[in-house]
Amino acid sequence: MADHSTSAWTIRSILVGKPEPMPHQGREIVTAIRKRPVEGPLYLGALNFEGDGQADLVNHGGRDKAVCVYSGKHYPYWEKELGRALGCGAFGENLTVDDMTEEDVCIGDIFQLGEAVVQVSQPRQPCYKLAARHGIPDLPLRVERTGFTGFYFRVLREGRVSRDSGLIRLARAAPGITVMEANRIMHRGKSDAEGIRRLLGVPELSDSWRTTLAKRLGRLEGPGGSGERTPDR
């Protein structure tokens, strides 16, 4: 992983989608997880790309989740794991980025994206709609366990974006907690009070993750809580 601020990555695809009905476990849900590639430039606003949308505005979307990013490097793994070909957008992302992984970026890193400037706010948490799209009930859990979750950008400056813009890191966050490490703390380090405190110490962390982790830390440090680190690597 390059540790200088001007690391750059190639955008494989920009994808958008509007909420639409989808069958799931004998009922109909509404979801925008089926993103479709766009060839021309798009305007990226504070909440999303033009032409994009979210069905569940409580758990998806908002300023901290304006853009969902997924690594093209993970696709060969999932094609082998699931036994099927997968096109860009299979994980509901807005940006498929070549080579960039959860170990390459930290919460709070800032990037130039065409005319826009964006910042990593939190890992993506896969939900049941990913399972519905692929017909694999445990897929969200499998994604979570690998750490190959993707992550979200908030938008610091709006502007037009095209696929050939590339993604250029302008600033590296301190203290430098990677998306992969944030995933570990959230999902496998639930008793890791030290790790939770470190993650809560990142001011750029999204409000939703901050709320969840603060409550967890309160339980660990309260009466009956150990507040100790549990081996979980």
Q: What is the pLDDT of residues 137-172, one digit of tens each?
A: 999 999 999 999 999 999 999 999 999 989 999 999
Question: Do 187 and 169 share a structural domain?
Answer: no
Residue 229 in any domain: the answer is: no
User: Which of 148, 124, 123, 109 has its CA nearest to residue 8?
Assistant: 109
The total of structural domains in the chain comes to 2
Q: Structure pTM?
A: 0.91
Using a pLDDT cut of 90, give the percent of the chain over it.
78
Residue 2 lies in a domain: no
pLDDT value, residue 233: 36
The answer to whether residue 232 scores a pLDDT higher than 50 is no
- Cβ–Cβ under 8 Å, residues 126 and 144: yes
Quote the domain boundaries for residue 90.
Answer: 8-174
Look at residue 229 in the predicted model and tell me its pLDDT.
Answer: 45
In whole angstroms, how large is the CA radius of gyration of the chain?
18
Say whether both 92 and 168 belong to one domain: yes
Identify whether residues 149 and 204 lie together within a single domain.
no
Per-residue pLDDT at 224? 65
Q: What is the mean pLDDT of the chain?
A: 91
Q: Are residues 162 and 202 in the same domain?
A: no
Determine the average pLDDT of the residues in 19-37.
Answer: 89
User: Based on the domain organization, do 149 and 210 belong to the same domain?
Assistant: no
Picking from 34, 64, 68, 70, the residue whose alpha carbon sits closest to that of residue 46 is 64
Residues whose CB falls within 8 Å of the CB of residue 83, separated by 6 or more in sequence, listed in order? none
Let me know whether 89 and 204 are in one domain.
no
Instruction: Answer yes or no: is 233 within a domain.
Output: no
| Mean pLDDT, range 211-230, rounded to an integer | 80
Whether 140 is in a domain gets the answer: yes
The arithmetic mean of pLDDT across residues 190-205, rounded, is: 96
DSSP letter for 66, please.
Answer: S
Under 8 Å between Cβ of 134 and 38: no
